[in-house]
Amino acid sequence: MIIKLGWRCLLTLLLAMLAGLGASNASANEALDLLTRMQSAVRDLNYTGHVAYTRSNELYTFSITHEAGEDQETIVRLDSGSLGQAASNEVESFSLTDFDNLHRPAKDSYSFDAGQETQVAEQTCKVVVVRPKDKYRFLHRYCINPETGMLLKYSLMDRSQNVLEQLVFTQLEIGKQGDKPSSARVTYNASFSPTTLRQASAVTMMRPQTLADTDDSATDKSAVLVLDEWAFDDLPAGFQWVRTLERVNNGKTDQVILSDGMTSVSVFFTPVAQAEKLDDLSYAAGATHVLSDVMSGYLVTFVGEVPAATLQSIQKGLRHIQP
């Protein structure tokens, strides 16, 4: 009798575990479906509204207008910043269309969960949480309209769930073509600055497949030759080489783009003789970390919305190959 009860308890426990696993898989599939729909919505919909954007304890407000099929929006700064600085065409900016550059990462990098519904900008949205499984990446939290697929709120958090960057619509109209004010349009600064580097890492990636269609194959740990004289012996789990852009920044710099599917890291190689500054550099602004060092006659700069440990790991695996 005791043995029967033991097996019954074990069977009950097993069934409960299977039910929990099924619910977990369903939540992950729902999250991936919403993220895939979001990728299309931010690019394919007409929308206009106001966005509050927070970074490094600074709050900015913007108006944003997007026409269906366009690669970029019209983004206009509406405020003077929380420290009172004047609005400028060179302020830190963002683009919702960057969110269509996501692809499904390896299973050992993130977990996906669909959460509860809430209200943002008087519209219903469903929370999607993308949780990192190690110290080399941040937590992503989305709120996506389940009907339109439109992203209404996005937060990037550290492992303690402190918000590093956040954007949220305070008002939004979908399906309406807004006016494009030309006098106050925010444009990207063309100078070779950390801001430009971060934007470049987002907008120059090759467009991958959608989240639902990408293979989950494991990252190849063998050395990856990314330039004639440079290779990575190892990369943090989940990160892969995406693309190499040669002779950017007026022909002085080569750029290598790495990605784990949810975020990207750019590595810039500038010959010391052509570099404007040779100071070693390591700092953070919001979620963006920058690491710079002189290696084998080159100023090598690592930039990405990743923890500092990620850049340090990538730097450690970088190897100069004698020609």
> Could you tell me what percent of the chain has a pLDDT over 90?
42
pLDDT of residue 249: 62
What local confidence, expressed as pLDDT, does residue 80 receive? 59
Query: pLDDT tens digits, residue range 143-161?
Result: 999 999 999 999 999 988 8
- For 295, the token pair is 């290696």
Q: How confident is the model at residue 122 (pLDDT cuts 50, 70, 90)?
A: very high
Q: What is the dihedral of CA 165, 171, 174, 180, to 10 degrees?
A: -80
Phi-psi region of 230 (alpha: psi -120 to 50; beta: other; left: phi over 0): beta
Whether 237 contacts 278, CB under 8 Å: no
Residues 184-205 have a mean pLDDT of 34
- Give the 3-state secondary structure of the chain: CHHHHHHHHHHHHHHHHHHHHHHHHHHHHHHHHHHHHHHHHHHHCCEEEEEEEEECCEEEEEEEEECCCCCCCEEEECCCCCCCCCCCCCCCCCCHHHHHHCCCCCCCCEEEEEEEEEEECCEEEEEEEEEECCCCCCEEEEEECCCCCCEEEEEEECCCCCEEEEEEEEEEEECCCCCCCCCCECCCCCCCCHHHHHHHHHHCCCCCCCCCCCCCCCCCCCCEEEECCEEECCCCCCCEEEEEEEEHHHHCEEEEEEECCCCEEEEEEEEHHHCCCCCCEEEEECCEEEEEEEECCEEEEEEECCCHHHHHHHHHHEEECCC
Average pLDDT of the residues in 168-184: 69
Confidence of residue 34 (pLDDT cuts 50, 70, 90): very high
Tokens of 88: 């400028």
Can you tell me the distance from the alpha carbon of 179 to that of 265, in angstroms, rounded to the nearest whole number? 34
Sketch out the chain's domains with CATH numbers.
23-80+93-174 (2.50.20.10), 226-320 (3.30.200.100)
